Amino acid sequence: MVQVAFVKLRRINGFQGLARYLSCPEPGMVPFLQNNRRKRYDTLLLITSQIVKPKRVQMKKLTFFAATLLAAWMLQACNGGNTNAKHEDAVDSAQAVNKETAPVDKESSDFAIEAANGGMMEVEAGKLAQEKATNQRVKDFAAMMVRDHSKANDELKGLAQSKNIALPDSVSGDAKDHIDKMSKMSGKDFDKHYIDMMVDDHDKDVDKFEKASGNLSDPDLKTWAGNTLPTLRAHQDSAKAIKESLKK
């Protein structure tokens, strides 16, 4: 059946067509692919092996490549590709890849995904605050968020790539919804909401990174978490100080 599917899929025009086909197979064409993620993954692995010539590529890398493609392409929904879908957003897709490939233990890969999503959220919220905040201290804090979290995000991406850990390439649907709501705020209401969010986020992040720096099984992610902690604590202290100043 997989061979039959491969023959049919070869006739699809380019990767975009393949992506849409695997995301939403047309009724009646290859029934065993419909609503079956495992079968779609197996088929994609077969197709990938024809493209990248596995004799020249380690099987682990081939499997990771296929799983990554599947996760990315599954983001395309039958209604035209709604990337805000909560049940299948970028975070869900990264988790699906790591479940298939198991590059590291689940706790370590889940931490990497959460850290990546949170870091991207901080950057997007910081950029928005640089535009909309009215208080100069809030603007300066937002600039620090963009700078520091962009650096941390790049470090995490490099580390994840070296270990074949899949990370989300965009924020989760919930995070995007939050950013969209913030974009409709203005003035002191925006300043207060942003700083309150930063205090809450960094309280959670410091706790999460403290646990990761002491408990993660992967030594490199464990070290990265520990090295990132001082920056997060500095952000936490700054956010709390600004929050108090806004009350005056």
Residue range 180-202, pLDDT digits in tens: 999 999 999 999 999 999 999 99
Instruction: Please state, in angstroms and rounded to a whole number, the distance separating the CA atoms of residues 243 and 156.
Output: 29
Give domain 104-246's CATH superfamily: Ferritin, core subunit, four-helix bundle (1.20.1260.10)
Better pLDDT: 232 or 84: 232
Does position 8 have pLDDT exceeding 90, yes or no?
Answer: no
- pLDDT range class, residue 60, cuts 50, 70, 90: low
Q: What are phi and psi of 27, to 5 degrees?
A: -55, 135
Instruction: Please state, in angstroms and rounded to a whole number, the distance separating the CA atoms of residues 156 and 224.
Output: 8
CB atoms within 10 A of CB 71: 24
Does position 115 have pLDDT exceeding 90, yes or no?
Answer: yes
Average pLDDT over residues 159-184: 93
What is the structure's pLDDT at 99? 87
Task: Give the pair of three-digit tokens for residue 60.
Answer: 């682990």
Task: Give the pair of three-digit tokens for residue 208.
Answer: 């999460």
What is the structure's pLDDT at 207? 98
Task: Give the pair of three-digit tokens for residue 229.
Answer: 């902690």
What is the structure's pLDDT at 90? 84
What is the structure's pLDDT at 13? 41
What single letter denotes the amino acid at residue 43?
Answer: T
What is the structure's pLDDT at 103? 84
Instruction: Please state, in angstroms and rounded to a whole number, the distance separating the CA atoms of residues 215 and 7.
Output: 48
Sequential DSSP letters for the chain: -HHHHHHHHHTS-HHHHHHHHHHSPPTTTSGGGTT-HHHHHHHHHHHHHHHH-GGGS-HHHHHHHHHHHHHHHTT--TTS--TT-GGGSHHHHHHHHHHHH--S-HHHHHHHHHHHHHHHHHHHHHHHHHHH--SHHHHHHHHHHHHHHHHHHHHHHHHHHHHT----SS--HHHHHHHHHHTT--HHHHHHHHHHHHHHHHHHHHHHHHHHHHH-SSHHHHHHHHHHHHHHHHHHHHHHHHHHHHT-
Q: Could you state, in order of their start, the residue ranges of all structural domains in the chain?
A: 2-82, 104-246
